[in-house]
Amino acid sequence: PQWCAARRVRPTGAQLARQMCVQPSAQLAMRQWAKHGSCLADTPDRYFRITRILHRSLDWPDLDRLSREDGLTAGRIREAWIEANRNWRREMIAVKLNERGWLEEIRLCYGRDWMPAACRRSARGAGDDAPAKIWRGL
């Protein structure tokens, strides 16, 4: 769910600071509250608490190892996510690549019940055959 009726309550600096382990910027956390949180929870505290619980429930695939695979594709990234999280299916995982094929984001879709749900087709990102690259960092 997204862009529901605007809530007058806005996240505080302290609430945003607690969210940094899940969302790496205050701007992103604010946007996620406005876009999704206001549909799913009555306060930013409740929404952010639930997102932290969901985040802790996930097992992350070894993206460094995955980045070294020859012929890496968006579909292989989805597959690695499913291998690490058996309750997820392909249609629940959106892989966002930039125009040069670099992985920018893995989006996981949830329903109003906070359970994994199929993403809208238009929101699934790159097709399974799209060539992909993962930045390894420093």
- Give the per-residue pLDDT at 3: 76
Helix (H, G, I), strand (E, B) or coil at 129: coil
Give the integer Cα–Cα distance in Å for 50 and 103.
26
- Give the per-residue pLDDT at 36: 86
pLDDT at 126 over 70: yes
Q: Mean pLDDT for the chain?
A: 92
CB atoms closer than 10 angstroms to residue 103 = 21
CB atoms closer than 10 angstroms to residue 61 = 17
pLDDT at 7 over 80: no
The secondary structure of residue 98, as a DSSP letter, is: -
Report the sign of the C-alpha dihedral through residues 94, 29, 101, 122, in that order.
positive
- Which is nearest to 52 in space by CA: 9, 15, 98? 15
55-108: pLDDT as tens digits: 999 999 999 999 999 999 999 999 999 999 999 999 999 999 999 999 999 999
Give mean pLDDT, residues 119-134: 96
